[in-house]
Structure 1
């Protein structure tokens, strides 16, 4: 186990590795309020010397003129970026919950229909997923039925919890599995709901398939979790990106740009499931954020950070 280091000792180590610290007192205040591990270990990589293969030179050495303040600016930029896109991911989350609960309840009107096995897909390969989903829903009701809130109220007053109430207690990951466990008819109806909204906003008739919606749900779920858990976002990439060929065709974006599973990928996918005004607002807010941070880096090129995110030149025009 590494021995404990005071904040002053931590700064001394950084100086010894070639990192400039313009204001020791400000750096101390930052370390008192933010974790050294979160700030330095999380965001130092861009500022470290690399060997010809791209690996960090050991012992760690910072590039010329790299500063503690720049690392903190990247940390702050990443946090602000997470908050910016999380706002719109949550709007999609609300939308998919609303559509799934509405269409499922419209088709299956019996009490506790979401706990009945036959109301889901009959594909044998998905039986375990369906049983797991029903178990998750049952546990959610049981857990929250003992607390004050909507679930307890409906159990006490109405002997059951409507799905449109229950979905507020389910995660977007739960909803991803919920959608994948629906029969083909319901999946198509829900995907068509998004197609209709897209046509209304953009004037284009599209065939937004259940597979495309599943790809969107899978992608958004991963990025939503990164944002919610305050993990590093700017260089996050999906280990196994969801299929994007159909989505690329609709958006007129080459699949090689979408198959990287980076931030550009999720921004593109969100265009299909957010109202036009919301997606445009998200792009505008991102551009404002980029502009506000673009002049805060001297030892590195801020455009290299944007490229790491998948935000190439004129990326916003592509969307």
Structure 2
């Protein structure tokens, strides 16, 4: 159905016709003048709607605009909290990729000549194919009746469904992105970068990192030689406890960076955050992540999850709980507990305003409808 522009009074009448409580003489009417209608109503209405098959939306009795506004505020505050931590991690990752790259290729790579080492600070050298791993990555990840994600990296049978990462294409796209970015910076985007390029005629990797997106850096990690990847993982203590294979550790680190990149973009572009779903699988065995999810079972006991249990487990896995888990890997306990308290404070503020629905309903939308703050610290 086509959507036509409607004026303020028409929108109020539409919402009233859908059972929203908007008294004539109230501050509720003024809320619509403070917010973009789409950003407020369409983005935050879902928890307040009656579930059903009807094509006409109907709000739960008593729903007020102030509740949607409170949810918008809650989402905005959460977005800022998480963005703050993601930006810290982004800086750490960017710096460590550079450190690991040069540590290996300058001092540990016996195949590099002295000339290559002496020129490795130049983009004409460090962007060459020889410094990157371009073979494809194969993996199989399954989500079986036990609600477990298990990635296999060896002996893939033709009958198995698998994901394939074409690193040759990733490399080609990365190189294109780098030179396009440098071209933009050379014009007028960044005076310091422009000045460096004009004075020296090249761009060192450690300066290039300042103008690459987290997504670019995530791709850059997947292109590194295995030794470079493992050095980064070990330096940042991302090596799993209990221990897993190097290949599985690399794959899960790559997924961590991909997840951070996705959420970083959501936060930076002011998109709806609290109920975002992503499908980047983190293996249950990685850092015992599976034991931090609801309804953990041991497949050896042959007990399977029912439909509701699997859904709850999957919602936690695909919601911001995974992001909380990832952020915890980069934080000391004291810092992380403070971060958790900040999140809980936002829930408490939202709870004060909600009248039509319980806070549990919001937690369900977020995949946090379990004792997540205790389980994350297990």
Smaller-chain TM-score bracket:
0.7 to 0.9
Distance 2:352 2:23 in 1: 17
Correspondence for 1:231: 271
Correspondence for 2:84: 87
SS in 2 for 1:50: coil
Q: 1:216–1:270: 8 Å Cα contact kept in structure 2? A: no
The structure whose Rg is larger is 2
Correspondence for 2:167: 126
TM-score, normalised by the number of residues in structure 2: 0.75
1:32 is aligned to 2:89: no
Please, what is the CA RMSD of the aligned residues? 2.4
SS in 2 for 1:218: helix
Correspondence for 2:185: 144
- Where does 1:1-319 land on structure 2 (aligned, <5 Å)? 1-22=2-23, 26-51=27-52, 55=53, 57-108=54-105, 109=117, 110=120, 111-112=122-123, 113-123=125-135, 125-147=166-188, 148-195=190-237, 209-238=249-278, 240-249=279-288, 252-254=291-293, 257=313, 260-319=317-376
Q: 1:78–1:232: 8 Å Cα contact kept in structure 2? A: yes
Q: 1:47–1:62: 8 Å Cα contact kept in structure 2? A: yes
TM-score, normalised by the number of residues in structure 1: 0.88
1:264-283 deviations in whole A, cap 9, x for unaligned?
A: 11101221233444433321
SS in 1 for 2:355: coil
**Cα offset for 1:31?**
2.6
Unaligned runs of 5+ in 1: none
1:173-209 deviations in whole A, cap 9, x for unaligned?
A: 111100011111111111111117x99xxxx786682
Distance 1:242 1:6 in 2: 44
1:23-51 deviations in whole A, cap 9, x for unaligned?
A: 76634543333210111111111111112
**Cα offset for 1:161?**
1.7
Q: 1:19–1:65: 8 Å Cα contact kept in structure 2? A: yes
Distance 1:252 1:313 in 2: 13
Q: 1:91–1:274: 8 Å Cα contact kept in structure 2? A: no
1:66-121 deviations in whole A, cap 9, x for unaligned?
A: 11111111111111111111111111111111111222233345121432111111
Q: 2:104–2:227: 8 Å Cα contact kept in structure 1? A: no
Q: 2:67–2:354: 8 Å Cα contact kept in structure 1? A: yes
Distance 1:23 1:69 in 2: 15
